[in-house]
Amino acid sequence: MQEYKAVLGYNSSWTVPNALTLTRFAMVPVFLGAFIYEAFLLALTIFILAGITDALDGYLARTMKQRSRLGAVLDPLADKLLVLTAFICLGLSGWIPWWLVSVVIIREIVIVCGFIFLHLARMDIRGKITATLDSKLNTLAQIMLVLVVMSSRLLEEALLDTLSHILIYVVAGLTLISGLHYLFLGLGLRFCFKNKKK
C-alpha cells in the first residue's frame, strides 16, 4: 500500500495540485495565441480558468496535505508567467501604458537576480523570504487589472474603463512597494550573513 501511495505521488512532487499548476503553464501559449488572433473572449475565459485552477490547487494542497517543494516553486512561476504574458499583450495593444509593463517586468527581474545573488553567496533563504502581504495584494491587483481591462474592451463599459485607469496606478504603487520590500528583506539577510561570518 505504501508503495502504491508513493507511485501516486503521496509525499512527492506528483500531486493533484502540481498537475493543476502544470495545466496553468499549458494555458499560457493558448492565451497568447487567442490574444494574437484577437479572440479576446477566449483569451479572457482562459485567464479566468487559470485563476480558478490557481485557487483550486492552493486549496487542494492544504486540504489534501499535498504541499511539495516543486509546487512551491512552480505555482508562483506559473502565475507570474501568465500575468506577465497578459501584461505584455495589453501593452502591445495599447490597452495599458508601457511604463507600467516596464515597471512590472523590472520588478520581477530585480527579485529573480536578488534570489540568484543570495544563492551564489551560499545563503540558506528557505523559509526566510516568503510572500509578503504587499506582494500578494500586488498579484491580486495585477490580475484584477487584466480582467477589468479586457472586460472593458469587450463590453465597452465606461465604468470599467474608469476602474482600469484607477487600477493602473494601484498596480504601479503596489509593484514599487512590494519590490522595495523584497529588496530590503534581501539586504537585511545579506547583512546578517556577513555579521555571522565575522
pLDDT single digits (tens) 114-165: 767 666 656 555 555 566 788 889 989 999 999 999 999 998 888 899 999 9
Q: For 121, what's the count of Cα atoms within 13 Å in the CB-facing half-sphere?
A: 18
Contacts of 190 (CB under 8 A, 6+ apart): 118, 121, 123
- The predicted pLDDT at position 73 comes to 72
Please tell me whether residues 89 and 126 are part of one structural domain: no
Mean pLDDT of the chain: 81
Please check whether residues 81 and 116 belong to one and the same domain. Answer: no
Q: When comparing pLDDT for 157 and 176, which is higher?
A: 176
* Distance separating alpha carbons of residues 163 and 161, to the nearest angstrom: 5
Instruction: Looking at the structure, tell me whether residues 58 and 116 fall in a common domain.
Output: no
pLDDT of residue 176: 93
Q: Rounded CA gap, 28 and 84, in Å?
A: 10
Q: Which has the higher per-residue pLDDT, 67 or 107?
A: 107
Q: Quick one: 106 and 155 in the same domain?
A: yes
The label of the residue with cell 516568503 reads 130
Under the banding of pLDDT at 50, 70 and 90, the label for residue 86 is: very high
Q: Are residues 103 and 198 in the same domain?
A: yes
Residues 104 and 58 in one domain: no
Single residue among 93, 120, 153 that ends a domain in this structure:
93
Predicted pLDDT of residue 157: 83
Kindly provide the b/e burial profile for residues 135-173, where b requires at least 16 CB atoms within 10 angstroms of the residue's own CB. beebbebbbebbbbbbbbbeeeeeebeebbeebbebbbe
Alpha-carbon distance of 8 to 10, in angstroms, equals 6
The span from the CA of 76 to the CA of 54, in Å, is: 9
Q: What is the DSSP letter of 96?
A: S
Total structural domains within the chain: 2
Q: Give the end-to-end CA distance of the chain in Å, rounded to a whole number.
A: 51
Yes or no: say if 74 and 91 are a contact pair by the CB < 8 Å rule: no
Q: Both 20 and 112 in a single domain? A: no
Query: Which position has the grid cell 529573480?
Result: 112
> What gap in Å lies between CA 190 and CA 38, rounded to an integer?
47
93, 124, 151: which is the final residue of a domain?
A: 93
Judgement on whether residues 80 and 105 belong to the same structural domain of the protein? no
Cell of 128: 526566510
pTM, two decimals, is 0.81
State whether 62 and 115 are in the same domain. Answer: no
> In which domain, by residue range, is 11 found?
1-93
Q: What is the mean pLDDT of residues 67-73?
A: 69
Say whether pLDDT at 43 is over 80. Answer: yes
Task: Give the confidence band of 10 by pLDDT, cuts at 50, 70, 90.
Answer: very low
Domain end (from 53, 78, 93): 93
Whether 52 and 121 share a structural domain? no
Q: Are residues 196 and 125 in the same domain?
A: yes
Pair 122, 58 in one domain: no
